Chains A and B, each alone.
Chain A
Amino acid sequence: MPDPTVLKVEKLSVEFNGATVVDGVSFSVLKGEVLAILGPNGAGKSVIFRALLDLVPYSGKISWAPDLKIGYVPQKLAIDRSTPLSVVEFLKSKAKNTKEILDVLKLVGINTGPESEHHLEHHILNRGLGKLSGGEFQRILIAWALIGGPNVLLFDEPTAGIDISGEETIYNLLKKIQQSNDLTLLLISHDLNIVYNYADKVICINKKALCLGEPHQVLDPKSLSVLYGGEAKFYHHEH
Chain B
Amino acid sequence: MDLINNLTFLQIMAGVFIGIASGYLGSFMILRRMALVGDALSHVALPGIALAFLLNVNPFIGAFSALFLGIVCIWLIESHTELPTESLVGLFFTVSLAIGILITPENELLEALFGDISKISLDDTIISVTFSIVVIAAMKLIANKFMLGTLSPDLAKSARINVSRLNFIFLILVAVIVALGIKAVGTLLMGALVVIPAISAKNISNNLKSFTLTSAVFGLVSLVAGIYISRLLNYSPGPVVVLVSGLIFILSLFLKKE
Contact = CB atoms under 8 A, between A and B. Distances in A.
A84 B210 CA distance: 8
25 contacts: A54-B157, A70-B158, A72-B158, A74-B152, A74-B155, A77-B152, A79-B151, A83-B151, A84-B201, A84-B205, A84-B206, A84-B208, A84-B210, A85-B207, A85-B208, A86-B208, A89-B144, A89-B207, A89-B209, A92-B144, A93-B144, A93-B145, A93-B159, A94-B159, A126-B207
B148 A94 contact: yes
A171 interface: no
B202 A84 contact: yes
Nearest to B210: A84
A77 B202 contact: no
B103 interface: no
Closest CB pairs A-B (n = 6): A84-B211, A86-B207, A72-B158, A93-B148, A84-B205, A93-B144
Interface of A: 50, 53-55, 70-72, 74, 77, 79, 82-86, 89-90, 92-94, 126, 128, 144, 154
B158 A128 contact: no
Contacts, number: 60
A50 B154 contact: yes
Contacts of B155: 72, 74, 77, 144
Contacts of B206: 84, 86, 128
Contacts of B31: 83-84
Given A92-B144, A126-B207, A128-B206, A85 B151 contact: yes
B154 A72 contact: yes
Given A74-B152, A77-B155, A86-B206, 11 more contacts: A53-B154, A53-B157, A55-B154, A55-B158, A74-B154, A83-B31, A84-B205, A89-B207, A90-B151, A92-B144, A93-B144
A23 to B, nearest CB: 22
A83 B31 CA distance: 8
A21 B229 CA distance: 61
B147 A55 contact: no
Contacts of B207: 84-86, 89, 126, 128
Contacts of B209: 89
A62 B208 CA distance: 38
Nearest to A156: B154
Interface centre among A70, A74, A84, A92 (most CB of B within 10 A): A84
Nearest to A77: B152
Interface of B: 31, 144-145, 147-148, 151-152, 154-159, 201-202, 205-211
A5 B148 CA distance: 31
A82 B202 contact: yes
A82 B151 CA distance: 13
Interface centre among B144, B155, B158, B210 (most CB of A within 10 A): B158
Contacts of A126: 207
A208 B159 CA distance: 29
A53 B154 CA distance: 9
A206 to B, nearest CB: 23
A144 B148 CA distance: 11
B251 to A, nearest CB: 18
Contacts of B148: 90, 93-94
Nearest to B198: A84
A55 to B, nearest CB: 5
A104 to B, nearest CB: 13
B233 to A, nearest CB: 35
A89 B206 CA distance: 11
Contacts of B145: 93
B32 to A, nearest CB: 12
A65 B147 CA distance: 30
Contact of B147 (A50, A72, A82, A89): A89
B154 A85 contact: no
Given A53-B157, A74-B154, A93 B210 contact: no
A79 B155 CA distance: 13
A86 B208 CA distance: 7
Contacts of A154: 158
Contacts of A70: 158
Contacts of B144: 89, 92-93
A53 B151 CA distance: 17
Nearest to B202: A84
B182 to A, nearest CB: 28
Nearest to A145: B158
